Structure 1
Amino acid sequence: MAKLSVELQRYFFEEEQEPQVRLADILTLAGERIFGFIFVILSLPSALPVPAPGYSIPFGIVILLLAIQLIVGAKRPWLPKKI
């Protein structure tokens, strides 16, 4: 299994793709490794040096739900069809 960055580079730059990229394709490509990426993205606002009121509870709930999915052994995160 190649590094995620190598697989994403191949997907975006080397393979012929449709003009519109679907999130489902990225999730399938990354597999279980997408959990870490999503955790990092969701926790980045907490690392800001200035407080941003109102974001910690919703982001924390999403991180909790993703963590539960990872604990129960999900191979890829469940996300709603429309975000």
Structure 2
Amino acid sequence: MFRYRKAFLAIFRTLLLMLLFYMLMEYGLDLLDQVWILHLDSRWKAFGLLLGFNIILACSLPGAIEQFKQILAESRQGSQ
């Protein structure tokens, strides 16, 4: 279980970043819409969320996948 801890933490960090980005986009844009007269269409908000989630996943998940690969390689070497 301890071998998988780094990989699970990397995935958890990715999900936490996605939640933080969602909160920033949802509430931050609503606040800007109230302060300024932006009147952003909901399609633009959805596009921004999808784009941000894809950027976060593209930056964070390869590291987690690489850690899983290292763990699997170590466990294969240990079993031989």
What's the TM-score once normalised by structure 2's chain length? 0.36
> Counting helix residues as a fraction of each chain, which structure ranks higher?
2
Kindly name which structure, 1 or 2, has the bigger radius of gyration based on alpha carbons.
2
